[in-house]
Chains A and B, each alone.
Chain A
Amino acid sequence: MCSLWLPKAGNQPHEYEDAFWPARASNREVRVKRFAVADGATEASFSGLWAQMLARACGRGKIRPENFFAALTPLQDAWWAEVGRIPLPWYAEEKLRSGAFSSLLGLSLKQRRQDGQVAWTAMAVGDTCLFIVRDHELITSFPIHAAEAFDNSPHLISSVPARNLALDSALCRESGLARAGDRFYLATDALACWILARHEEGAEPWNVLDDLARDDCQERFAGWMADERRGHRIRNDDVTLLRFSLE
C-alpha cells in the first residue's frame, strides 16, 4: 500500500485536515483488511481532529454499515471532550456549536472461506471516493460516478448529532468481488474529481498515479500536484491518495 498526502497550497502541513488509515502498510496477516480515508470540512473548526477520529475508528472496524449511527456517539463524545479541554475565545466557542464535519470512506476486504475469493465492502458519506481498476478498465467508481457531480457542499458526518438527522440517506454502500491484480485507489474529492475528469476524457489517470505511487515519494507527488494546481487541472485543496493492488 502507498499513501500520498498534501495540504492545500498555501497551508502548512499541520493545517492538513484529511485523514487516512492505516498510516503505513503492514504485512501482518489479518482476516479482514480495512482502509479508511476522511476529509474534514474547511468551513468548520477542529474538522481535522474529527476526520482523524472517524478514519481511525473505521480502520479499526468500529464503524461498519450495520452499526454506523450507534458507532458515532462515542466518537462525538470523545470529540467534544477533546475540544472542550481548553478555554476558547468567543469566536472559537461560537464556531464549535456548529460542530466539525467530515466525509468518510471505509473499505474492507475479506477472503471468503467457501471459495477463497476476496469480497470487498465499501461505505461512504460525502465525496471521498473509491476507484477499482481491473486491467485497464475502471470497474468501480464509488460513491460518485461523474466529475460534474462534485460540488462544494456535500452532506458530511457531523460531530453534532442534531446535524446528522438526514445522514441515513447520505450513507452509501457498495460491495463486490475482487481479483488478483485489481488496483484500488481511495482519494479525497479534489483528486477524485481529477481522476474522473481524466477518465471521462479517455485518458488513463491510473498510469500517472501508479507511477507516483511506485516511488512512494511525497516530494515527487508534491511536485506533480503543484503542476496540476498551477494548470488549474485540479482544485486547490488538501489531497490524499491510498493505493494498493491485490496480490
Chain B
Amino acid sequence: MAYTAEISRTNPSCFLFLIDQSGSMDDPSGSAESQRKKADGVADAINRLLQNLVIKCAKSEGVRDYYYAGVIGYGSNVGPAFAGALAGKELASISEIAENPARVEERTKKVDDGAGGILDQTVKFPIWFDAVARGGTPMCEALRRAETILSSWVSEHADCFPPIVINITDGESTDGDPSSAAEALRRTASSDGETLLFNVHLSSHGAAPIEFPESETGLPDKYAELLFRMSSLLPAYMQTAARQEGYSVSDGSRGFVFNADMVSVIRFLDIGTRPSNLR
C-alpha cells in the first residue's frame, strides 16, 4: 500500500516549497480584512510552514532529522530562495533549518487561557524567506527544477515516504501550461508512492477560502481550476487525519486550497502518536 513508509531519521522524507515571486505578487491579497500584498502573505505562509515542520520534529534533545526541506523561488529567475546562512541550498536537513533562520522576529498571537478567556501571547517567529515580487511566473520551469531535485532525492532514498511539494502561487503561469510539468513531477516516485504535489492559490479575488475540494465546481476562476487538476489526491492517511481535525474530505479530495494556508498538512504528517487534544 502506498504512503505507509515510516518516516524516521534513518528513512527521512522530503518537503519542497515552490514560491511564486512574480511581479503580480505585489498586488493586494483577496482577504477581506487585509490590504497586504500577496508576496507578504506568501512569505508568512512559507515561514509558518517551515516553523511548523521544525516544531513537529523538535524533541527534548533537539530537532530530529525526519525531513529535509528546500524552498525554490520563481519570478525573475528560478532557484533556491532561503535567506541567511542557508542561501543557495536546494535542500537542508530540518535541524539545519531550525538552527539557521535568517532572523527571529517576535509576534503576538491570541491563545486560550484555559479558563474561558483569550490572552495575547508573544511568540517567536523565525524568518527564512523574505517577500520578493519581481518578473514573470515561470511555473513550468519551477516544476521541472523540482523534478530534478526530487529525482536525485528518491534515487538516494528509494524507500522513503514520498516527497511532498507545496506550490504557493497566484496562479498565472507565464511560461506555458504547467500541467505536463506537474504530471512529470508527481510521477517522481519512491517505492512507497508518487510525489505529492499540493497547491496553495493566493488570489486577489475576494472569494471565500476553499480547502481540499473534491471537484472543480465552485472554484472561482480558470487558474484555480488548473491548480486543482494539477494537485494530488489526498492519500488515505491524510484523509483520516483531516477528518479528525474536522475537515470534510473524501477519496476525491485534492491537496489544493484557495486563499487559505496549508499548515494543516504539517499536522497531518505521521511521525508518531499525536494526541487528539493537541491542536
Contact = CB atoms under 8 A, between A and B. Distances in A.
Interface of A: 10, 15, 39, 41-46, 48-49, 83, 89-95, 97-98, 101, 151-156, 158, 160-167, 189, 236-237
Contact of B271 (A43, A158, A161): A43
A155 B275 CA distance: 5
Given A43-B278, A153-B274, A95 B6 contact: no
Q: Which 3 A-B pairs have the closest CB atoms?
A: A42-B272, A162-B114, A156-B275
A97 B99 CA distance: 19
Interface in B228-279: 240-241, 244, 270-278
Contact of B272 (A43, A49, A97): A43
Contacts, number: 100
B58 A45 contact: yes
B66 to A, nearest CB: 10
Contacts of B124: 90, 93-94
Interface string B41-62: 0000000000100111011111
Contacts of A94: 51, 55, 58, 123-124
A95 B58 contact: yes
Nearest to B114: A162
Interface residues of B, number: 37
Contacts of B272: 41-43, 152, 237
A164 B277 contact: yes
Nearest to B57: A91
Contact of B273 (A10, A98, A153, A165): A153
A153 to B, nearest CB: 5
B136 interface: no
Contacts of B6: 236
B9 interface: yes
Contacts of A89: 98-99
B104 interface: yes
B10 A10 contact: yes
Contacts of B51: 91, 94
B151 interface: no
20 contacts: A10-B10, A42-B271, A42-B273, A43-B273, A43-B275, A43-B278, A45-B60, A46-B60, A91-B51, A91-B63, A93-B124, A94-B58, A97-B121, A101-B273, A152-B270, A153-B273, A160-B114, A165-B114, A189-B273, A236-B6
Contacts of B114: 160-162, 165
A90 B122 CA distance: 12
Interface string B63-104: 100000000000000000000000000000000001101001
A164 B240 CA distance: 23
Most buried by A among B60, B113, B270: B60
